[in-house]
């Protein structure tokens, strides 16, 4: 009890950073994929700023041995959440060393893939790195990380910083990575997998490394189509040289989010690994630019608390839009801002938490934060804005910041009313629509879009000529999509002419909007609608195939024959749909059991969560349910992706309302793993 009391008296009124400054850490790690374990030796160098009796490191569910201060055995307390070192610490330099081991419950994931291979990756955003590496949940504690990782030959191992050395030892390789500048712990990363990589160099000679799994190398060009261009653009636009020595991008399986800006080494979901057709609907461009922008706004300078999180997400969102404007043009840029303005306007009816609040929603932090910067940029002018950004980044490099720090730099270049700006954009929950529309109206396409919006409640015959004229014009496609959306509930006979014009635009996005606007297709529009099956868009093909199959039973065989070799995205969206439609078409297949087996296999652990969910949704919707399907559904509830595990739980709850299926779930219970049994028993007991 004495040691715990000493800890409380030292730290109850102050953060550890006021007493102790950790400077650097070196870790030698071993990864055990079979046991899903991390173990290693760690050395921290730190300075004591004020005398204290306790130093702590965040460490979740870890075991520690050989805990030493300056080479001498130390008194320590392992709480299960923290490692606390108890001593009479005086001002000066110290070194802490220890060995540790852990089976991480989160933040580091071992993902089994085919042929007994594995991918290992981390996701530390927030306060999670301390689940796999003893570190600091407090973002204000920045230090230099250097990791050595031992793993099997044949795998690529990536961490933060420059790869200094690779040492082969029997069947393993020791990878040695080194950082030169400090960062917050949540940006520490590992990625292990069988990857190929291509190497480039930015205009400023920064090495760029782009990774893909060996089997996906043909997808390199569309996946990374604009990556180098984005890098060169952001360096120039921001006005501050990329602050690290190297930049990498690595797609990993079943990643929790779109991407993560780990310092020097961004991880992103394989959803964005696409071919040229897939690029139409799932381009990586925005995520690519967003995560790279974070290497300035988040990695170089870090918000000191969640209250100021917009300084990371708002900035990354805005600079990603600027990068996309450079690639796709002004109409794209303003259309994206228009869309997010509509989202924010609608959300403000129920969302009562403003930007400057730690509990703000992602929409608020990201999109309203970006809108605030757009307004500020337009208000003070490009030259002043860039000057302030440059000064802000240089002044607070490798430190933490708050909103006032940013405003202080704006004040040096402009007399803009920041007090009013803060109240309107950062403290108010309302969205300033008049200001937004005034800025958006600088773009001709948005002017027309706003005219279209004003016609929503106007009788169709009164606006028909204007809508036809707009569809026949060369206005940006998002305006034409808005027209398709606006006439969705009009009678077919009235709007047919507009639909034919929309089809003839030959614009993939406009045609996709039309495809999605029909649940019931009239016979005299069938041949026209069938042309959508040939669009260079897996998403459009999926929509069109389903609606045509549903509406025209006499043509099902023809549709199925046309699409029988379609695969689609990496999540097999077209193949899983085809299988479910073929199985639901009487007398189509000579071997329905083979089709069932293939579709059920897509729902198994062999595939990524998105593929599995695609298959499970179709198996359940078309009532193709057997014990294997139920087992795969229960397994989903144990998956590390919360979205997929939630889908599994929600689907089981619905299925349990059927007494026969409930009996089937009870029957398979003994054959499940302990984790699966726990999840299913809990659902059965609800």
In a domain, 405, yes or no: yes
Helix or strand or coil: residue 411?
helix
Residue 294 has pLDDT above 90, yes or no: yes
pLDDT tops 90 at residue 2: no
DSSP-assigned states of every residue in 476-543: -HHHHHHHHHHTTTS-HHHHHHHHHHHHHT--HHHHHHHHHT-SS--GGGHHHHHGGGGSS-HHHHHH
Mean pLDDT of 425-452: 97
The pLDDT of residue 13 is above 70: no
Residue 333 lies in a domain: yes
Residue 245 has pLDDT above 90, yes or no: yes
Hey, how many other C-beta atoms are within 10 angstroms of the C-beta on 363? 15
The predicted pLDDT at position 9 comes to 39
Round to whole Å and give the CA distance between 51 and 331.
60
The DSSP bridge partners found for residue 183 are 143
User: Tell me, what CATH number does 323's domain have?
Assistant: 1.10.390.10
Mean pLDDT of 226-239: 98
* Orientation of helix 592-602 relative to helix 627-636, angle to 10°: 10
pLDDT, average across residues 202-223: 97
Are the C-beta atoms of residues 529 and 544 closer than 8 Å to each other? yes
Cα four-point dihedral sign 636, 639, 644, 645: positive
Tens digit of pLDDT for each residue in 133-149?
A: 999 999 999 999 999 99
In this prediction, residue 506 has a pLDDT band, given cuts at 50, 70 and 90, of confident
Q: What integer best gives the mean pLDDT of the chain?
A: 96
Confidence of residue 17 (pLDDT cuts 50, 70, 90): confident
Is residue 374 in a domain? Answer: yes
Give the pLDDT confidence score for residue 4 in this predicted structure. Answer: 36
Instruction: Summarize the confidence of residues 334-339 as an average pLDDT.
Output: 98
In a 13 Å sphere around the CA of 399, the CA atoms on its Cβ side amount to 10
State the pairing for strand pair 20-32/144-152.
parallel
Choice between 416 and 6, residue whose per-residue pLDDT is larger: 416
Q: CA 588, CA 576: separation in Å to the nearest integer?
A: 16
Query: What is the C-alpha separation between 539 and 457, in angstroms, rounded?
Result: 30
Interval 225-240 mean pLDDT: 98
* Domain-embedded: residue 515: no
Q: Are 55 and 96 within 8 A, CB to CB?
A: yes
| Helix (H) or strand (E) segment spanning residue 134 | none
- Please choose, from the candidates 638, 640, 645, 610, the residue with its C-alpha nearest in 3D space to the C-alpha of residue 128: 640
Residue 105 lies in a domain: no
pLDDT tens for 471-481 read 999 999 999 99
How does pLDDT run across 73-130, given as a tens digit for each residue? 999 999 999 999 999 999 999 999 999 999 999 999 999 988 889 999 999 987 899 9
* DSSP secondary structure letters along 349-379: TT----SSSTT--HHIIIIIHHHHHHHHHHH
Burial grade of 537 (CB within 10 A; 0-12, 13-18, 19 or more): buried
Give the pLDDT confidence score for residue 370 in this predicted structure.
98
Q: What is the pLDDT of residues 146-202, one digit of tens each?
A: 999 999 999 999 999 999 999 999 999 999 999 999 999 999 999 999 999 999 999
pLDDT recorded at residue 6: 38
Q: Does residue 659 lie within any of the structural domains?
A: no
Residue 251 lies in a domain: no
Asked if residues 208 and 247 have their Cβ atoms less than 8 Å apart, the reply is yes
| Placement of tokens 């910067």 in the chain | 373
Helices 330-347 and 369-380 cross at an angle (nearest 10°) of: 130
- Partners of 175 in the β-ladder: 149, 166
pLDDT classification of 449: cutoffs 50, 70, 90: very high
C-alpha angle 593/598/601, rounded to 5°? 120
Q: What pairing do the DSSP bridges indicate for beta strands 207-213 and 247-252? A: parallel
Do residues 78 and 59 make contact, with C-beta atoms less than 8 angstroms apart? yes
Residue with tokens 């959300």: 347
Count of alpha carbons within 13 angstroms of residue 78, beta-carbon side: 17
pLDDT in tens, 379-403: 999 999 999 999 999 999 999 999 9
3-state secondary structure of 140: coil
| Count of structural domains within the chain | 1
Tell me how far apart the alpha carbons of residues 561 and 380 are, in angstroms, rounded to a whole number.
Answer: 60
Q: How far apart are the first and last CA of the chain?
A: 42
Give long-range contacts, CB 8 A cutoff, 24+ apart: 553-559: 555/526, 556/581, 556/585, 556/588, 557/585, 557/588, 559/533
pLDDT of 5 reads 36
Q: With 70 as the cut, is the pLDDT of residue 590 above it?
A: yes
Q: Is the dihedral of CA 472, 474, 479, 480 positive or negative?
A: positive
Q: Are 486 and 452 in contact (CB under 8 A)?
A: yes
Q: Is residue 278 part of a domain?
A: no
Q: How far apart are CA 224 and CA 231, in angstroms?
A: 11
Cβ-contact 62, 102 below 8 angstroms = yes
Name the residue range of residue 372's domain: 301-442
pLDDT digits (tens, 9 = 90+) for 617-649: 999 999 999 999 999 999 999 999 999 999 999
């Amino acid at each position: 009890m004495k040691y715990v009391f000493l800890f409380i008296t030292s730290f109850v009124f102050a953060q550890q950073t006021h007493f102790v400054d950790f400077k650097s850490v070196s870790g030698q790690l071993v990864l055990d994929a079979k046991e899903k374990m991390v173990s290693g030796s760690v050395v921290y160098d730190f300075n004591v700023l004020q005398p204290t009796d306790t130093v702590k490191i965040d460490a979740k569910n870890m075991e520690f041995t050989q805990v030493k201060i300056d080479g001498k055995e130390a008194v320590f307390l392992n709480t299960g959440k923290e490692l606390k070192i108890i001593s009479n610490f005086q001002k000066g330099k110290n070194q802490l060393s220890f060995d540790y081991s852990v089976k991480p419950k989160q933040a580091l994931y071992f993902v089994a893939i085919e042929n007994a291979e594995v991918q290992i990756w981390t996701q530390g955003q927030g306060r999670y790195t301390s689940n796999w590496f003893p570190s600091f949940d407090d973002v204000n504690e920045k230090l230099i990380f250097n990791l050595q990782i031992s793993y099997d030959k044949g795998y690529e191992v990536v961490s933060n910083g420059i790869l200094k050395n690779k040492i082969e030892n029997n069947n393993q390789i020791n990878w040695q990575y080194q950082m030169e500048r400090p960062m917050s712990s949540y940006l520490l990363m590992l990625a292990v997998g069988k990857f190929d990589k291509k190497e480039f160099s930015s205009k400023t000679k920064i090495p760029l490394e782009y990774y893909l799994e060996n089997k996906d190398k043909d997808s390199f060009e569309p996946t990374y189509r604009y990556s180098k261009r984005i890098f060169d653009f952001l360096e120039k636009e921001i006005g501050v040289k990329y602050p690290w020595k190297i930049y990498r991008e690595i797609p990993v399986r079943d990643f929790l989010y779109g991407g993560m800006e780990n310092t020097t080494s961004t991880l992103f979901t394989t959803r964005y690994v696409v071919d040229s057709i897939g690029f139409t609907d799932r381009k990586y461009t925005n995520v690519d630019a967003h995560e790279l922008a974070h290497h300035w706004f988040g990695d170089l300078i870090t918000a000191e608390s969640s209250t100021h999180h917009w300084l990371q997400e708002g900035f990354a969102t805005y600079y990603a839009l600027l990068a996309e404007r450079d690639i796709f043009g002004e109409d794209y840029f303003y259309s994206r801002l228009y869309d997010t303005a509509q989202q924010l306007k609608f959300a403000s009816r129920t969302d009562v938490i403003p930007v400057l609040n730690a509990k703000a929603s992602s929409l608020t932090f990201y999109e309203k934060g970006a809108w605030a910067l757009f307004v500020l940029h337009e208000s003070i002018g490009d030259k002043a804005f860039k000057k302030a950004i440059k000064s802000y980044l240089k002044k607070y490099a490798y430190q933490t910041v708050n909103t006032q720090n940013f405003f202080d730099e704006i004040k040096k270049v402009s007399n803009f009313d920041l007090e009013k700006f803060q109240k309107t954009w950062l403290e108010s929950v309302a969205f300033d629509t008049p200001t937004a529309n005034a800025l958006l109206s600088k773009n001709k396409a948005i002017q027309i879009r706003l005219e279209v919006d004003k016609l929503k409640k106007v009788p169709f015959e009164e606006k028909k000529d204007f809508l036809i004229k707009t569809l026949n014009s060369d206005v940006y496609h998002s305006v034409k999509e808005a027209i398709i959306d606006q006439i969705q509930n009009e009678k077919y006979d009235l709007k047919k002419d507009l639909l034919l014009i929309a089809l003839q635009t030959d614009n993939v996005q406009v045609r996709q909007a039309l495809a999605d606007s029909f649940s019931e297709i009239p016979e005299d529009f069938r041949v026209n609608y069938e042309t959508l099956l040939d669009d260079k868009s897996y998403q459009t093909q999926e929509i069109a195939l389903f609606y045509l199959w549903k509406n025209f039973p006499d043509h099902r065989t023809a549709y199925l024959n046309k699409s029988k070799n379609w695969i689609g995205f990496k999540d097999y969206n077209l193949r899983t749909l085809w299988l479910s439609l073929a199985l639901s078409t009487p007398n189509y297949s000579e071997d329905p059991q083979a089709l069932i087996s293939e579709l059920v296999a897509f729902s198994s652990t062999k595939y990524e969560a998105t593929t599995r969910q695609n298959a499970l949704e179709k198996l359940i919707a078309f009532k193709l349910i057997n014990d294997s399907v139920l087992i795969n559904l229960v397994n989903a509830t144990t998956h590390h992706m919360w979205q997929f595990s939630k889908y599994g739980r929600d689907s089981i709850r619905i299925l349990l309302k059927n007494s026969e299926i409930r009996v089937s779930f009870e029957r398979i219970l003994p054959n499940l793993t302990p984790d699966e049994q726990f999840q299913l028993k809990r659902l059965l007991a609800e």
